[in-house]
Amino acid sequence: MRKLLPSLTFLAVAALPAQAEPVRSVSVAYNVDVGPMTMIVVKYALNHSGDAVEARANIRSNGLSRMFSEYSAKAEGQSRAGQEGMTPVRFRLVREKEDRKKETSLQWNGPGAITYAPQEKKPERRQRIEQALNAAVADPMTAVLRIGTSGETPCPSVQQVFDGRDVYELSLADKGEGRLDGDAAYRGPVRVCDVSWTPIAGRAAEKNEPRESYEVSFAPIGELPSGRMLWLPVSLTGKLKGIRFDAYVTKLKAEGGSEGTAASQN
């Protein structure tokens, strides 16, 4: 579940056809299916005000999966939009599994100046994490926005991410243009990317956890108030511990403009 969280965050925002007014807020729900069953449900909200971008995600187990392990997570992130792109400000993640609760918080005090709690207890592991925290590292929420606002297309791109436990790399390779149809909440043109997850420092790197890859379809929403085009995922497929999963948008809504112009798909 922990390793899937960054990938779920990718799908926490859905794409709409480009709007005349800048996109200021997005809300979305999506399902993660394993076989015929929906195992995880995610709800996400993104708000852009001035140069501040705030994102929140609620993730919870669903259906039969709750019989074996009831899991939920809440993530909150704040980024700053500028001429050079998205800059991370702070990130908070609260995970609950049955009656156990864990909280992680990150704060950026400047490029590469990151404080986080709880601190890694093992001195050698903590040193390797701190050595990997360079100026390019972002939290999972900001990394999604950096990918989505990196240029004319979201891939190719390489992002370094820190979630409070592991530093890892997300590498996106371009697979070309495509189109989504069928029953999904988004229908239309997409850019298809291969996204790979590679641990750099932390527990996953020390345990030699294998590199994972996913196929992600991105679609354009439109421009943010900062003037940058926003590309965000609408579907994701891959394997987790050898089990195939499919994630897809089920509901979405975007609002833009000073008068709150709205567009939605169901």
| pLDDT at res. 16 | 39
Mean pLDDT rounded to a whole number for the chain: 82
Give the E-state strand segments of 121-187 in sequence order. Answer: 157-162, 166-180
Does residue 264 form part of some domain?
Answer: no
Give the E-state strand segments of 85-139 in sequence order. Answer: 85-97, 100-108, 114-117
Does residue 263 form part of some domain?
Answer: no
Query: Cis link prior to 199 (omega < 30° from 0)?
Result: no
Instruction: List beta partners, residue 58.
Output: 43, 74
Does residue 75 form part of some domain?
Answer: yes
Which carries the bigger pLDDT value, residue 209 or residue 157?
157
The pLDDT > 70 percentage for the chain reads 85
Instruction: Give the structural domain span for 88.
Output: 4-258
Tally the domains of the chain: 1
The amino acid that residue 143 corresponds to is A
Within 10 A of 179 (CB to CB), how many other CB atoms are there? 11
pLDDT band at 163 (very low <50, low <70, confident <90, very high): very high
| pLDDT at res. 164 | 93
Alpha carbons within 13 angstroms on the beta-carbon side of residue 186 total 32
Q: What is the CATH number of the domain that holds 199?
A: 2.40.360
pLDDT at residue 260 greater than cutoff 60: no
Q: Are the C-beta atoms of 168 and 199 separated by less than 8 Å?
A: yes
151 token code pair = 């240029």
Give 58-93 pLDDT, tens digit per residue: 998 886 544 445 678 999 999 998 888 899 999 999
Q: Are the C-beta atoms of 182 and 202 separated by less than 8 Å?
A: no
The amino acid that residue 32 corresponds to is V
What average pLDDT score do residues 215-222 get? Answer: 86
- Give the helix/strand (H/E) hosting 194: strand 188-202
Indicate the SS3 state at residue 30.
Answer: strand
Kindly report which listed range (2-11, 30-39, 201-210) carries the lowest average pLDDT score: 2-11
Indicate the SS3 state at residue 189.
Answer: strand
Does residue 109 form part of some domain?
Answer: yes
Does residue 83 form part of some domain?
Answer: yes
Does residue 265 form part of some domain?
Answer: no
Does residue 125 form part of some domain?
Answer: yes
Kindly report which listed range (38-52, 206-220, 228-242, 247-261) carries the lowest average pLDDT score: 247-261
Query: What distances in angstroms separate CA 124 from CA 106, 162, 175, 203, 208, one per listed residue?
Result: 20, 17, 39, 11, 16
pTM above 0.85, yes or no: no
What average pLDDT score do residues 16-25 get? Answer: 62
